Copies of this chain bind each other. A is one copy, B any other.
């Protein structure tokens, strides 16, 4: 099959009657069978037309990844979708769509759930994709969202492509999201810009595609667990050492240097690039995307992640970042 079964903007396929399907109908809105989406939500599967597709999934659980009292329902949905879309950015894939599995207590099966799903739809639309489907179920306790992302990619930028002598770069400013969490946990009033970073992170999907199309990233990862920790994936995947210069790390105005190195959930990109290759493009990138590019270190022979302090002393970053079973390093 090569043409959409229902035209863009049409209503979803009718579902059987019933309160669960009533709620699903409210989730869907208009079907966007855009480029590549042959069958949208409403059947047993969505069907997409694609060459090479990138796929990933990311689960968010109330009490683990978010607290309901810190966020509007739309922000919970946005944040979960953005975290998953960030994995597409990390391989330089163009978002096609998302599938959202949602488990909610029965009392939330109304406006709360609808607003949450509206937030997820908004996040994927902002990234150029659409809602492809999902699952809705009751939860005996926490709200659980699992977002699967699907994106087109011809030449994925993997974690394994870094070589010694290259530069290490990051997008944006780091630590803002964690600064919000620290403020909330300590009872302080969080900075508005820190809250925005936490509640509405913007996955760098367009930025990643732009960089990859110009051959400017040899390996890449998104920053979900913190720079020191996630850089470890590039080191392990490529069989190299990643050396980060502490003084170079771009610190979010609401954060400090320690948070910028270890704080998670910024959803910026960390990537490697041939020495000198990126410099001619940084001004154009910054003006196009209104996001800075900063060189934060170098790739060296060896293994692991190393932090070079202002005085030139070098220390191992350890396991680094957030771990669900073992806590933060």
Contacts and interface: CB of A to CB of B under 8 A. Distances in A.
Interface residues of A, number: 91
Given A139-B64, A319-B17, A221 B44 contact: yes
Contacts of A38: 52, 156
A312 interface: no
A43 B144 contact: no
Interface in A293-319: 319
A325 B47 contact: no
B158 A43 contact: yes
Given A233-B16, A319-B17, A1 B57 contact: no
Contact of A57 (B21, B65, B148, B151): B148
A13 B56 contact: no
A274 interface: no
A34 to B, nearest CB: 15
Given A103-B144, A109-B325, A57 B133 contact: yes
A87 B141 contact: no
Contact of A55 (B19, B46, B136, B320): B46
B232 A17 contact: yes
A236 B99 CA distance: 22
Nearest to A63: B140
Contacts of A324: 20, 106, 109, 136-138
B57 A146 contact: yes
Contact of A48 (B47, B52, B57, B106): B52
A53 interface: yes
A55 B18 contact: no
B44 A55 contact: no
Contact of A325 (B45, B138, B221): B138
A142 interface: yes
A222 interface: yes
A168 interface: no
B43 A47 contact: no
A325 to B, nearest CB: 4
A130 B13 CA distance: 30
Interface in A235-288: 235-237, 239
A140 B64 contact: yes
A211 interface: no
Contacts of A229: 16
- What are the nearest 8 A-B pairs in CB distance? A16-B232, A44-B90, A146-B146, A45-B54, A19-B326, A59-B101, A45-B56, A18-B319
Interface of A: 1, 5, 13-21, 23, 38-39, 42-59, 61-65, 87-88, 90-91, 93, 99-103, 106, 109, 132-142, 144, 146, 148-151, 153-156, 158-160, 220-222, 229, 232-233, 235-237, 239, 319-321, 323-326, 329
6 contacts: A16-B319, A20-B323, A46-B56, A50-B50, A57-B148, A59-B146
